Amino acid sequence: MRKVSRQLNDSHYMPFLYFILFSLVIHFPMTLNYSDDARFKVILKNNDLFQWLHARYFTWTSRVLLEAVMVPVLHAGDWLWKWIDVLMIAVFVLALSKLFVKSRFAACNWLIILLFLLIPVRAFNSAGWAATTCNYLWPMTMGLIALLPLKKLLNGQRLPYYAYIICIPALIYAANQEQLCVALLIVFGAFIVFFAFQHRFYLFPVIQFLITMASFIFIASSPGNHARLMVQVVRSNHHFFMLSVANKLEIGAFSSTLNHFIFTFDPIFLILCILITAAVYAKNRDPFLRMISILPLFCTLAFGALRPVTKTLFPQLAHVLYDVRVIPYGYVQLENVWALKSYLPLAILGLVCLCILLSLLYLFSDLRTFLFAALVLFAGLMSRIVIGFTPSAWGSGVRAFFFMYVSLIIVILLVFQELLRLDKKHFPQNVLIFTALYTGLTVLNGYLLHG
């Protein structure tokens, strides 16, 4: 018995066991009696599920597969959702580890858990605990499962038969979420091109791409999505159809997304910037490279974490960055399109992104790792850009950032492993300790005070 206990404690999956126990404790007091949860719980009292889903597709949404799971789960009772949600969380963190951790498993697995807990609580409960997780966390978990075969193919391994049995249904479910569908379409397409350049042809990624494309067409042609768009235009953005494609791209990428991560304090983005700076400093003494790596950290601290200080010391700069009413038309609007200063926020946000990419390019010795990190960031950003083409770019709240947060966590894992390889001292461990302390405070504030 002692031997089994010792082996379990030495296992690099032990952090996940602790996390599952913690998740069970957190889920115990949760109630599903507010917002969309309360409404969906009673759907089956007076409706046939398939007739109701048929009506939803034609009048409100294309997420019929997600709701086909969510509504019966809610109807069965709170406890069923709680058990399934804990399972989904466990699979989520385990899949991240299986996909993206290659060394120092215990440290990286702890980091995965801490970063997951740093995702804002509102990303999990803004529309109700069940309604939000069923539409964001659960599809993302299934999406990660669908990506597992790609790693085997990259390593030249054959796919077992159960990969088709498990991963295809998981992908069909995941791709029913429109933001995730766009991100997966980009990932599968990129891997098909990558394999083609290597003169390798695999049928499975092509099948996955076609399934995702079929889901995209299903979403784009949904009468319900068009009907909901019209309702949202009336409710929140009367001039939506007057916005150009460039306006919508700017809103999706800059005003509603990069602004959130850089001009307001976000701990996950801050940790990414800290790790990039530390890794570049550990790898090279070149002052130019170090300056490029530290610029994103400086910007997210000066314009985000220390925003009140910046407002006090540089009121004119603060007016340009913070006082422009970006909702609902973005930074560049009809009245300021010819004002050069209106483009300053876009220049700063774009420069931060460029410096991050240049730092990653220098940091990763293997070009494939850099290309993969860039692909992940691009897919995450595209999950936000697609929101810019809807009137709900501002109204969806932080839950619509969930897939972007996952992309940042993946890149953080890659950078952290590179830093562990470069820095044999104690800095990576200190980052882990700092993240743990901050996460503890965040969980205490978010779940116990507001959850």
Span 368-393, pLDDT tens digits = 999 999 999 999 999 999 998 888 87
Q: Residues with Cβ < 8 Å from 90, sequence gap 6 or more?
A: 16, 19, 20, 23
**pLDDT greater than 80 at residue 324:** no
User: Region 124-130: what's the mean pLDDT?
Assistant: 91
* Average pLDDT of the residues in 355-373: 93
Q: What are the backbone dihedrals phi and psi of residue 204, each rounded to the nearest 5 degrees, phi first?
A: -60, -45
Give me the pLDDT at residue 357, please: 96
b or e along 169-195 (b: 16 or more beta carbons within 10 Å of the residue's beta carbon)? ebbbbbbbbbbbbbbbbbbbbbbeebb
SS3 content of the chain, % helix, strand, coil (to 5): 80, 0, 20
Tell me which residue has tokens 């993206």.
100
> Collapsing DSSP states into helix, strand and coil, what is residue 321?
helix
By percentage, how much of the chain surpasses pLDDT 70? 90
pLDDT of residue 323: 64
Question: Is residue 319 predicted with pLDDT exceeding 80?
Answer: no
Q: What average pLDDT does this structure show over 284-304?
A: 91
Q: What is the tens place of the pLDDT at every residue in 210-268? A: 999 999 999 999 999 999 989 888 877 777 888 888 888 988 898 889 988 999 889 99
What is the rounded distance in angstroms from the CA atom of residue 414 to the CA atom of residue 421? 11
- Residue 65, CA distances (Å) to 136, 139, 337 in order: 13, 10, 43
**Residues ≥6 apart with Cβ < 8 Å to 406:** 140, 380
CA-closest candidate to residue 349, choices 244, 243, 256, 274 = 256
Summarize the confidence of residues 129-133 as an average pLDDT.
Answer: 95
Burial class, 77, CB count within 10 angstroms (exposed 0-12 / middle 13-18 / buried 19+): exposed
- pLDDT score for 444: 61
pLDDT, mean of residues 182-211: 94
Give the pLDDT band (50/70/90) at residue 22.
very high
Give the best-scoring range by mean pLDDT among 267-271, 353-357, 433-437.
353-357
> What average pLDDT does range 412-416 have in this prediction?
94
Indicate if the pLDDT at residue 151 is higher than 60: yes
pLDDT of 196 over the 90 cut: yes
Give, in order, the Cα–Cα distances in Å from 365 to each of 152, 266, 357, 371: 22, 28, 14, 11
H-helix or E-strand spanning residue 222: none
Rg (CA), the chain: 22
Burial of 205 (0-12, 13-18, 19+ CB in 10 A): buried
* Closest of 412, 376, 436 to residue 117, by C-alpha: 436
Q: CB neighbours (10 Å) of residue 394?
A: 17
- For the entire predicted model, the pTM comes to 0.93
Which amino acid belongs to residue 243? Answer: L
For position 215, what pLDDT does the model report? 97
List beta partners, residue 128: 126
User: For residue 437, is pLDDT > 80?
Assistant: no
What confidence tier does 328 reach under pLDDT thresholds 50, 70, 90?
Answer: low
Q: Provide the pLDDT for residue 429.
A: 67
* Per-residue pLDDT at 426: 63
Residue 1: pLDDT band (50, 70, 90) is very low
* Residue in the block written with tokens 């990660």: 144
Is 10 a residue whose pLDDT tops 60? no
The pLDDT tens digits for 45-72 are 989 999 999 999 999 999 999 999 999 9
- For 451, the enclosing helix (H) or strand (E) is none
Query: Average model confidence (pLDDT) for the chain?
Result: 88
Percent of the chain with pLDDT over 90: 58
pLDDT of residue 8: 46
Mean pLDDT (whole number) for 24-44? 91
How many other CB atoms sit within 10 Å of the CB of residue 216? 16
**What's residue 159's pLDDT?**
85
Is the per-residue pLDDT at 191 higher than 70? Answer: yes
Mean pLDDT of 97-122: 90
Amino acid at 355: C
Q: Which of 269, 268, 253, 216 is nearest to 381 (CA)?
A: 253
Least confident residue range of 32-41, 345-354, 393-402: 393-402
